[in-house]
Chains A and B, each alone.
Chain A
Amino acid sequence: MANGRIQEPGKRTRALRVVPPRAGSVDSLAAEALTSPEALEELCGKYAPRMYSYVLKRVGGVQDAEDVTSLVFEKVIGNLGSFDESRASFSTWIYRIATNCITDYYRSRGRRKEAPIEDELTGGVAAAGSDLERVDLHIALLDLLQQLPAKYREAIALRYFAQMRVLEVARTLNITESAASKRILRGLEELRVLSRGGPLEEWL
């Protein structure tokens, strides 16, 4: 139970069976995952939906999103030993890893320019039931985002794509809240400028 304590109102006094929290926190679950396959599975199960949703919004194609999400968790597994819950929460840590994986994805995509178009159209949002125009707009937004300087791009992505609070953005990027909000606002302005003359001009 994700920090949810459910209390029954007065008419019944019997204690409810609540899903037991594992050692109290996700961070300790991460530590446990070092030795326990069950804990690892639970950790991945807990974060995979959120991470996949974020990555899908960032890369635009279902199969690429599955690949990148898988890679994120591979890195989590490979680096669990260096995770220090006193320095960052697991959530912050995994989003840092995701940020690096997505950066690597776009770098490698730059080297294989022909491949992603097929992937986006076969496995992207279009395949999930939306229409091609909407996919085009999403892809146009991703292209625009890639043109931003990295520090603005990541702040924007965490704020809107991962729907993070500013404090969470700041922690993930290891900057102050004030700096995070400035990056977000500057990023929004840069996006508006970059959109001029393109398909998103009407939108931004």
Chain B
Amino acid sequence: MRKIRGQKVIDESFDDGHPVAEAIRSLLPADARMSDEARERMMGHLLAVRRRVDRGAPARTAPHPHRIRWTALGTAAAVLVLAAVLTAVLLPVHFGGGGTKTARQFARLQSPDGKVEVMPTGGKWRAARDGEKLASGWRVRAGEDSFASVAFPEGSIMRLTDGSEALLQAIGKQSVTVGHLTGGTYHRVRAGTRYLVSNRGISARALGTAFSVENREPGNLEILSVENAVEVEIGKHQPIKVSEGEVMVVSMAQAKQAVKQPVSRERLSDQRLCASVQKDVEKGYSSGIYEKLDVPLEAQPASQRPIVSESFPLTLGGVAAESGAALEWTVSAGIDFDALVLLRSEHSEPGYPDDEIARYADTSIKSATDDSATRGRTYQYRLVALSGAGVPVAYSNTLVMSASEPGARPEPVSVTLRGSLLPGGISLEWSVSGAPVFSGFVLERVVEKAPGGSATPAGSASSRRIDSASVFFTFVDDSVAVGHVYSYRVGLVVDGAAMVYSDTVTLEVKP
């Protein structure tokens, strides 16, 4: 909270991170639109009301048209009530036994195939065993040509494809939080679970859905919704819904922006994704968009696979500019239209006509700058092509952009290092922020103090190169000796050289 001219002004993020606030946001349904039929009915009703008001009659004189339909819905309602009761009886109870303290929850590793390893909190990587328990804070990784599944206690499943690593941040009775670190993870989320997958400030939240998260392409994070929908939060901005069959690619550069559009059949044919969905199908789950588009679950030969359909009729791109958002678009030759309308929304997917901000009757215009965007806010942009009759004939992809704060400076690149003593070693954990791309770390160690006759006398220095693009990393130095004092620092490797170092951490190994 700050004061301007003696008046208190509330910081809008004052309730960010409040668990109840977060829970409310996750429990609420996404913004919904009134059906066209209901809207027309309402408008007709309101115009009639207005006419009555004009005549001096009370505003509400007739029963609302919806009430008439209630009786007709009685049978359907009874069926659904019965379904609800059966659901409650037949499905496992998720809400616990009425307020008793819950025991610590564990996930289980299933069907590790190839080189699959786990790292307990503060421990070292070791080979994973089929069926072994995994606790919060553990990491799992699948090596080259390897695959593993993690089954959570409430029924959700995470699948790791080759070259992937994930951190099980929190495993609850009805909630799961996963840190996606590298590669690709696929998530089949049980209905009712609060399920969150995050990667460097980008969070994908789901309730009862299937989706994948990948960052195989440097600098980009891809979220693909296979079934139902997932909400993606970029930083502290409003969540953006990624619907079934849509893919959102978030640029992880400083000014985060994202493009959302229908996924291509080629992307769906990716071998890793197909393998994950195939396992779902074997367990009786729907394959979502695969069924709807009739895409076979057979991997196609690996080649250049466009993430989004190349036949998209309207393509919208852009960058955050000093004066707002600079937008550009291309239109395929195949569509016949009379005008383009630019749509913008903050809270939901922009739709026509509600979210219109500009109309271009001159179809040769291919770019525009939105200088009305409020700085610091995130907007979704979309184009719609209209026929001569004003009917939408094609929509573009959705572009998500944040208008830059005035005078905002790029987040500085930093590495934060923490160390702690373990029996027989020193555990070092570090995290990276502000670096869009890096290839690894160099860990440096200096012996500050050593007893006489030590094999590593004071002043001895050593370093170790670690190839990883993980923004969180844990390393255990088990080559330490009692009575020695060690100092460590971590350098971030960019283009083959250590560019930024962490502060130094010093620890003494006592007897």
Contacts and interface: CB of A to CB of B under 8 A. Distances in A.
Interface of A: 1-9, 11-12, 14, 16-19, 37, 40-41, 44-46, 48-49, 52-53, 56-57, 63, 66-67, 69-71, 73-75, 77-78, 115, 117-119, 121-123, 125-126, 128-134, 136-138, 141, 156, 159-161, 163, 165-167, 176-178, 180-181, 184-185, 188-189, 191-192, 196-204
A37 B50 contact: yes
B192 A133 contact: yes
A128 B360 CA distance: 34
Interface string B42-83: 110111011001000011100010110110011011101101
A176 B50 CA distance: 35
Interface string B457-498: 000000000000000000000000000000000000000000
Interface residues of B, number: 90
A70 B29 CA distance: 21
B9 interface: yes
B28 interface: yes
B95 A201 contact: yes
Given A45-B354, A48-B39, 18 more contacts: A4-B372, A5-B371, A7-B369, A9-B367, A40-B50, A44-B46, A52-B34, A66-B42, A69-B34, A77-B59, A133-B91, A133-B94, A176-B8, A184-B15, A185-B18, A188-B18, A192-B19, A197-B99
Interface in B20-51: 20-21, 23-29, 31-34, 38-39, 42-43, 45-47, 49-50
A192 B15 CA distance: 14
A1 B23 contact: no
A78 B53 contact: yes
B64 A67 contact: yes
Contact of B98 (A121, A161, A189, A197): A197
Given A53-B31, A66-B38, A134-B191, A121 B80 contact: yes
Contacts of A204: 19-20, 23
Given A118-B73, A119-B70, A177 B10 contact: yes
**Interface of chain A, main secondary structure:** helix
Interface of B: 1, 8-10, 12, 14-15, 18-21, 23-29, 31-34, 38-39, 42-43, 45-47, 49-50, 53, 58-60, 64, 66-67, 69-70, 73-74, 76-78, 80-81, 83-84, 87, 91, 94-96, 98-99, 102, 172-175, 191-192, 194, 207-208, 228, 238, 323, 326, 342, 344, 347-348, 353-354, 356-362, 365, 367-372
Nearest to A131: B191
A52 B66 CA distance: 15
Contacts of B77: 117-119, 121-122
A166 B12 contact: yes
Contacts of A9: 326, 367-369
Contacts of B370: 4, 6-7
9 contacts: A6-B357, A6-B368, A7-B369, A69-B42, A121-B84, A126-B80, A128-B32, A138-B27, A191-B24
Contacts of B10: 166-167, 177-178, 180-181
A70 B208 contact: no
A185 B18 CA distance: 9
B87 A7 contact: no
B399 to A, nearest CB: 14
Contact of B46 (A12, A19, A77): A77
Contacts of B358: 1, 4, 6, 16, 18-19
Nearest to B25: A160
B46 A74 contact: yes
A75 B59 contact: yes
B42 A48 contact: yes
A138 B25 CA distance: 11
B357 to A, nearest CB: 4
